[in-house]
């Protein structure tokens, strides 16, 4: 069957034909048959240079040799035991060595579980109930974080099925907005357990913190007995050797990881200061558990991946990011387009609007229809990016200079076609 037929078939059995909403786009998504390095192949005989990379995890590209080997060896001796293994200590030590804020860590199965557990831990530690997130930030799909903007007040849920009693505990404010932050903290500081933030907002494109905003968050939380959580599910092991907290030189109390950490296998993790982490069961009273926690396959994927991600890896990878962004910037200038190219290291996005963008409201003013046209045009020419203005594009070390140069040309031609 081709992708269209598969989608029609899939819709009979899976809600909306997919297992995660972003995967369904009009008129039907391509179905993947395999991946190889920087490329993925669909069921219709097309091949794409992949800048989605599973929404971030595949930093080594698809089908990486050392991962195939190490995972094969682990599978042969078992895929889950329900007992501790030495490999969990090994990966824990690797993360602790790299990450400024992490003294202890708990491995779970997804980014959603990681933020859910870190938030519970922050509540348990501070004895307070409310949490603060930023408008447009995505921290997974559990009840406390699926909350829309509430202009400094309690948010409205983004989904049916979330009780108001839950959502009233989540406050949200615009990113990069010092004034809104000060007002909120003044009013609610005695109730706020934690501020959770994506250091670079990767779920509304690729939005960087304004100079000093993360430092401001660090100071204001410290002064008010509030824990600061960096949600590094995207930025973790992506922005640098020591993740965003090293890149921006701001050390949070807790961090959440996912995506890259599993080397392509399901994983999540949260970690931080020992005195806080000691509160997690069984050493403390904040409950957290999981049948597949510390799963040997995911842990092996993580160890193998982090072994590849040494400091020089990032120099090379970030060079690829600079190269592609440079090409896109030249195109935008040559064609005098009113577009906003954003990104850093191996992340990038193009906002289909001009001018500076600071927050979610700013991103929402982008021309979504033009973006979709751009997405479809790239797809036709063999370049796959996430099908939304609100997602981020990623580069892997499997992307060759030739890949990037070709992609630069394809984007240039797509611009010419869209803006003719």
Question: Smallest gap, in angstroms, from Cβ of residue 332 to ligand PLP?
Answer: 26
Part in contact with ligand PLP (CB under 6 A); list of ranges 46-54, 96-104, 108-116, 403-411: 108-116
Contact between 258 and ligand PLP (CB under 6 A)?
yes
Contact between 208 and ligand PLP (CB under 6 A)?
no
> Nearest to residue 382, comparing CAs of 3, 58, 46?
46
Pick between residue 135 and residue 231 the one whose CB is nearest to ligand PLP.
231
Spatial separation of the C-alpha atoms in residues 184 and 135, rounded to whole Å: 14
Contact between 3 and ligand PLP (CB under 6 A)?
no
Block residue for tokens 């269209």: 4
Contact between 231 and ligand PLP (CB under 6 A)?
yes
Question: Smallest gap, in angstroms, from Cβ of residue 15 to ligand PLP?
Answer: 17
**What phi, psi does 407 have (nearest 5°)?**
-60, -40
Contact between 110 and ligand PLP (CB under 6 A)?
yes
Question: Smallest gap, in angstroms, from Cβ of residue 136 to ligand PLP?
Answer: 11
Q: Enumerate the β-bridge partners of residue 276.
A: none
Pick between residue 202 and residue 386 the one whose CB is nearest to ligand PLP.
202
Question: Smallest gap, in angstroms, from Cβ of residue 292 to ligand PLP?
Answer: 13
Part in contact with ligand PLP (CB under 6 A); list of ranges 34-42, 197-205, 378-386, 403-411: 197-205
Choose, by CB under 6 A, the member of 107, 125, 134, 138 that binds ligand PLP.
138
Question: Smallest gap, in angstroms, from Cβ of residue 141 to ligand PLP?
Answer: 7
Choose, by CB under 6 A, the member of 136, 202, 271, 362 that binds ligand PLP.
202
Alpha helices in 189-295 (DSSP H): 213-223, 243-247, 274-277
CA separation, residue 30 to residues 3, 6, 395 (Å): 5, 9, 20
Part in contact with ligand PLP (CB under 6 A); list of ranges 7-15, 79-87, 155-163, 198-206: 198-206
Using CB under 6 A, which residues numbered 261 to 290 contact ligand PLP? 268
Block residue for tokens 């199965």: 109
Contact between 248 and ligand PLP (CB under 6 A)?
no
Alpha helices in 158-212 (DSSP H): 164-167, 178-188
The answer to whether 205 and 349 have CB atoms below 8 angstroms apart is: yes
Count interface residues toward ligand PLP (CB under 6 A): 15
> Nearest to residue 201, comparing CAs of 391, 374, 328?
391
CB atoms within 10 A of CB 157: 18
Catalytic (active-site) positions: 138, 231, 259
CA angle 173, 106, 142 (to 5 degrees): 40
Part in contact with ligand PLP (CB under 6 A); list of ranges 27-35, 106-114, 301-309, 383-391: 106-114
Which stretches of 236-279 are assigned E, i.e. beta strand?
A: 254-257, 268-272
Contact between 243 and ligand PLP (CB under 6 A)?
no
Give the pairing of strands 39-42 and 47-50.
antiparallel
Say if residue 156 is exposed, middle or buried (CB neighbours under 10 Å; 0-12, 13-18, 19+).
Answer: middle
Choose, by CB under 6 A, the member of 140, 272, 296, 408 that binds ligand PLP.
140
Using CB under 6 A, which residues numbered 359 to 418 contact ligand PLP? none
CA separation, residue 343 to residues 5, 31, 103, 159 (Å): 36, 28, 30, 30
The answer to whether 260 and 238 have CB atoms below 8 angstroms apart is: yes
Choose, by CB under 6 A, the member of 3, 99, 112, 349 that binds ligand PLP.
112
Spatial separation of the C-alpha atoms in residues 257 and 212, rounded to whole Å: 23
Choose, by CB under 6 A, the member of 59, 180, 233, 328 that binds ligand PLP.
233
Part in contact with ligand PLP (CB under 6 A); list of ranges 58-66, 227-235, 332-340, 395-403: 227-235
Contact between 111 and ligand PLP (CB under 6 A)?
yes
> Nearest to residue 140, comparing CAs of 225, 198, 66, 82?
198
Footprint of ligand PLP (CB under 6 A): 110-112, 115, 138-140, 198, 202-203, 231, 233-234, 258, 268
């Amino acid at each position: 069957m081709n992708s269209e037929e598969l989608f029609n078939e899939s819709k009979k059995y899976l809600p909306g034909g997919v297992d995660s909403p972003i995967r369904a786009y009009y008129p039907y998504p391509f179905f993947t048959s395999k991946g190889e390095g920087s490329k993925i192949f669909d069921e219709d005989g097309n091949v794409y240079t992949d800048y989605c990379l599973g929404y971030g995890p595949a930093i080594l590209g698809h089908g990486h040799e050392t991962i195939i080997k190490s995972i094969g060896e682990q599978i042969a001796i078992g895929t889950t035991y329900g007992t501790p293994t030495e490999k969990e200590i090994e990966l824990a030590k690797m993360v602790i060595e790299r990450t400024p804020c992490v003294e202890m860590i708990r491995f779970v199965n997804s980014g959603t579980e990681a933020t859910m557990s870190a938030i519970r831990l922050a509540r348990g530690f501070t004895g307070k109930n409310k949490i603060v997130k930023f408008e447009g930030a995505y921290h997974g799909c559990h009840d406390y974080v699926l909350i829309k903007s509430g202009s400094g007040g309690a948010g409205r849920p983004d989904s049916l099925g979330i009780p108001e009693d839950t959502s009233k505990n989540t406050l949200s404010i615009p990113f990069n907005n010092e004034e809104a932050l000060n007002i909120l903290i003044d009013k609610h500081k005695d109730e706020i357990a934690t501020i959770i933030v994506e250091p670079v907002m990767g779920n509304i494109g690729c939005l960087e913190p304004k100079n000093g905003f993360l430092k401001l968050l660090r100071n204001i939380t410290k002064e008010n007995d509030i824990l600061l959580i960096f949600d590094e599910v995207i930025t973790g092991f992506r922005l640098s050797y020591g993740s965003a907290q090293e890149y921006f030189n701001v050390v949070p109390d807790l961090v959440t990881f996912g995506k890259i950490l599993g080397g392509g296998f399901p994983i999540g993790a949260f970690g931080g200061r020992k005195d806080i982490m000691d509160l997690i069961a069984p050493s403390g009273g904040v409950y957290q558990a999981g049948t597949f926690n510390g799963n040997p396959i995911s842990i092996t994927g993580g160890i193998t991946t982090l072994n590849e991600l040494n400091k020089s890896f990032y120099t090379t990878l970030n060079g690829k990011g600079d190269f592609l962004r440079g090409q896109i910037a030249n195109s935008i200038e040559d064609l005098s387009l009113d577009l906003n190219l954003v990104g850093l290291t191996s992340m990038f996005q193009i906002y289909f609007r001009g001018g500076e963008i600071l927050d979610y409201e700013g991103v929402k003013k982008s021309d979504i229809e033009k973006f979709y046209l751009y997405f479809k045009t790239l797809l036709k020419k063999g370049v796959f990016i996430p099908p939304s203005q609100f997602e981020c594009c990623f580069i892997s070390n499997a992307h060759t200079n030739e890949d990037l140069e070709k992609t630069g040309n394809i984007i240039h031609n797509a611009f010419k076609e869209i803006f003719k």
